Amino acid sequence: MSDRYIHKEIETKWQKSWDEQGLYTTTEDPDRPKWYALTMLPYTSGDLHTGHWYAMTPSDAAARFRRMSGHNVFFPIGFDAFGLPAENAAIKSNVHPQEWTYTNVERMQGQLRRMGAMWAWDREAISCDPEYYKWSQWFFLRLYDSGLAYREFAPVDWCPSCNTTLAREQVWGEDRHCERCDTPVIKKDLNQWKFRITNYSEELLADLDNIDWPEPVKVMQTNWIGRSEGAQVTFTTETGAPIEIFTTRPDTLWGATFMVLAPEHPLVDEITTDDRRDAVAQCVDQASRLDEIARTAEDKEKTGVFTGGYAINPVNNERIPVWIADYVLMGYGTGAIMAVPGHDERDFEFAKTHDLPIQLVVQPPPDSEAGHVRTAGDLESAWPGPGTVINSGPINGTPVGKEKGESVKAAIAWLEQNGKGEGAVNFRLRDWLISRQRMWGTPIPMIHCDSCGTVPVPYADLPVRLPDDAQFKPTGESPLNYHEAFRYVNCPSCSGDAERETDTMDTFMCSSWYQYAYVDPYHKAGEPLAAGDTPWDSARGQYWLPVDQYTGGIEHATMHLLYTRFFTKALRDMGVVDFDEPMLRLFNQGIILGPDGERMSKSRGNVVNPDEYVDKYGADTVRGYLMFIGPWEHGGPWDPSAIEGVSRFLYRVWSVVNDEPHAGTAGGAAANDAARGLERKLHQTILKVSEDMAGFRFNTAIAALMEFNNHLVSVKQTLGAAEAGTAAAAIWRESIRTLLLMMAPIFPHVSEELWQRLGRGNNGSDVASVHLQAWPQADPEKAREDEITIVVQVNGRVRDKLSVAPSTAEDKLEKLALASNNVKRWMDGKQVRKIVVVPDKLVNIVIG
């Protein structure tokens, strides 16, 4: 073994040793408080990139810190293994997705080991394993039994490049593009399976108050769920058909001068008069193709056509025309609106474009910018603001507030009294579409039978296995459709000819419950399942669940993080778990950027390969560098020269701890002073680093460790060579041991190596691992300064400094300050008006 720091040697050595010692095997120990630390699982892409290192190694440091602080920590790892890239690779190079996936898993396992993280490999779970997905299927059946899974024929979002439908959450941006390939989606009418996440809208919103999650995620989920209060009102067509509408402004019902239906609205056909049929058909057609055309942001002109039909406004029996327009969305509310052009900007614009009547029903306050408005004709734009209700029969004179208030309440009360409508709450959240027309996913365990209808696969028959020999043709239909042995089965109910569902599940289904799978992966492997089973060992689940600390990127705010919350609430209602939320605390790390400050991407050529840097500097340096860049939640650009600083730090620590100092050069008083100074610095550092580690502030923790090491360097010749048995020698030794303990979570390998060298007995035997040691405790008495600096200000400007003992009395500080020559000079004979004394900090003398 070399006396130099050779990272490659020690990192491989200790990774192997920790494995052999079983340092990170999981045990349920009821005598110790548990801590479930979870980092978002990687997809089996084939390569662990810098982003993974940035997400995972600080997570590991936090978990290690918890462990040293006395918790029994569970820090599992696994793979999200189903999904399109595997299937696309299969189409391209004719390898089975399974082969592609497991080759990648193997490679990534190796890369993950190089991080030196405390992964619980004994609880690894891979989502494409049949013993994993049989439970995904079990969950599907339980959701189906609970009425939370249903099949519906409806227009859905389709990605023409991925050749599959998508959930609403996977359609992003103004141009409504696919979340994974950026292709704009189109609409298709298809029979698809959905989960009733909307049953939990209210609870998903309310429970955000009970979890310690970052505010941005809470805001994004709140907006996504999109709760709005208002009223449901029934209009009637002249032919007698009811048109339900939702409005947040029932107080403006008397100002409705026309109605607008979404082009896909089921009543469109019925209400359209013969003379308008061609124009309406053309508009409907155009709307259905709208998503195929890349819409420009400026093109906001409201297009629409008159249906020829009329409806009766229930509040005043007025006959108003019914239009269709694409600014009304079938997916929100009821797909029909009352248009109040006087007080809604979109309606106003539409009315102006199509020359429709405008009615004023809220008189703007005289002191407002619309104070001059007396009639609808005076309006230059809609007035959505406050005022007084006018032209509205029974609710005339009610004040309209800036927020929803009295006028809305009055309108709802009137509607309810007269049976015309009622108060209602509407959500933006849509049900979760989980069908995918792809092969590499969990088969949906359903069978379609001509005589029995849709029949669930019996629990005992799970898993419904993916065939090993499916053909991959990008047809837009699931390849399982073309696999006869898979597709044609007997009906479990009547034994007649039947067909399997050939769509597979969204991979977000697998990750909605993976935190539970880790507790006891592949539970009941090889055994038949029943509805009453629990998907993991109950004792293990009781001990570990729920997740105490989750870490991961914010990009999952309205996908995975919403789905897994829904899933947990559904499981609770099925009696599978007894808590409401899957992850009690969440931390979002930032994004690591390329050296140019841009997002890393192959096309930009700014991708940093972590393996290269691990080879050059070692895993400890890469870990430390990533944590030293700045606050973890900020992310930031990778700076190839700044990593040198962390590397140098480790070499300096190595030489401080490992290299013999030159023969003693100082003794007596000098050594005693230096020892007292070092002891103080040591305890101050413990305080600082403990706080920072607990708060994920790794950057300042590392800065404190560096500072402490610099201090050690400066006193090494004095103390490191002190005679054994002296107090000075004892403090030196305690200091370097404690430095290694504090470094262990961030720099696990080099800390272990130096810890062993330091502790090794005369016979050369190893001591217990540094990672099994307790986190050091600071003694505030020892951290206390003997002498502190008090700043003396005159009119808020620093004019002098005093050195005094801590806790010096205020009046004494005041006297000392006034006695200062500098202060006298600046006072220049002026009157003292006031003296502010902040104990242990400053004295400010106000003159003038």
Write out the binding residues for RNA, residues 78-137 only, by CB under 7 A: none
Residue type, 785: E
Q: Which is nearer to RNA, 404 or 540 (CB)?
A: 404
User: Minimum distance from CB of 233 to RNA (Å)?
Assistant: 10
Beta-bridged to residue 838, according to DSSP, are: 842
The mark string for 612-651 relative to RNA (x by CB under 7 A, - otherwise) is ----------------xxxx--x-xx-x-xx-xxx-xx-x
The H or E element spanning position 807 is none
The mark string for 252-271 relative to RNA (x by CB under 7 A, - otherwise) is ----------x---------
Contact between 685 and RNA per CB under 7 A: no
- Residue for token digits 């509805």? 531
Choose, by CB under 7 A, the member of 211, 592, 706, 731 that binds RNA: 706
The mark string for 719-758 relative to RNA (x by CB under 7 A, - otherwise) is ----------------------------------------
Q: Which is nearer to RNA, 211 or 466 (CB)?
A: 211
Contact between 185 and RNA per CB under 7 A: no
Contact between 223 and RNA per CB under 7 A: yes
Q: Which is nearer to RNA, 326 or 501 (CB)?
A: 326
Segment interacting with RNA, rule: CB under 7 A, options 432-440, 576-584, 700-708, 730-738: 700-708
Determine phi and psi for 405, rounding to 5 degrees: -150, -135
Q: Which of residues 824-843 bind RNA (CB under 7 A)?
A: 834, 836, 838, 841-842
Q: Which is nearer to RNA, 85 or 630 (CB)?
A: 630
Q: Which is nearer to RNA, 372 or 797 (CB)?
A: 797
Q: Which is nearer to RNA, 531 or 838 (CB)?
A: 838
User: Minimum distance from CB of 647 to RNA (Å)?
Assistant: 8
User: Minimum distance from CB of 729 to RNA (Å)?
Assistant: 22
Q: Which is nearer to RNA, 576 or 629 (CB)?
A: 629
Q: Which is nearer to RNA, 117 or 702 (CB)?
A: 702
Contact between 219 and RNA per CB under 7 A: yes
Those residues with Cβ within 8 angstroms of residue 825's Cβ, 6 or more apart along the chain or in another chain: none
Per-state percent for the chain, helix, strand, coil, to nearest 5: 40, 20, 40
CA atoms within 13 A on the CB side of 29: 14
Contact between 797 and RNA per CB under 7 A: yes
CA atoms within 13 A on the CB side of 198: 17
Residue type, 732: W
Q: Which is nearer to RNA, 379 or 646 (CB)?
A: 646
Those residues with Cβ within 8 angstroms of residue 172's Cβ, 6 or more apart along the chain or in another chain: 178, 179
Q: Which of residues 279-308 bind RNA (CB under 7 A)?
A: 297, 300, 302
Q: Which of residues 426-465 bind RNA (CB under 7 A)?
A: 426, 428
Site size toward RNA (CB under 7 A) is 84
Cα–Cα distance, 818 to 613 (Å, whole number)? 58
Contact 698, 627 (CB under 8 A): yes
SS3 category, 253 = helix
Q: Among candidates 32, 36, 48, 112, which has minimal Cα distance to 75?
A: 36
Choose, by CB under 7 A, the member of 710, 760, 815, 830 that binds RNA: 710
Cα–Cα distance, 603 to 40 (Å, whole number)? 26
The mark string for 162-181 relative to RNA (x by CB under 7 A, - otherwise) is ----------xxx-------
User: Minimum distance from CB of 500 to RNA (Å)?
Assistant: 34
Is 87 exposed, middle or buried (CB count within 10 Å of its CB: 0-12, 13-18, 19+)? Answer: buried
- Residue for token digits 């500097």? 617
Q: Which of residues 341-360 bind RNA (CB under 7 A)?
A: 344, 346
Contact 719, 731 (CB under 8 A): yes
Long-range own/partner contacts, residues 213-221 (CB < 8 A, 24 or more apart): 213/583, 213/585, 213/586, 214/554, 214/586, 214/587, 214/588, 214/633, 216/554, 216/557, 216/588, 217/554, 217/557, 217/561, 217/586, 217/588, 220/554, 220/557, 220/558, 221/557, 221/558, 221/561, 221/562
Contact between 554 and RNA per CB under 7 A: yes
Choose, by CB under 7 A, the member of 327, 482, 522, 543 that binds RNA: 327
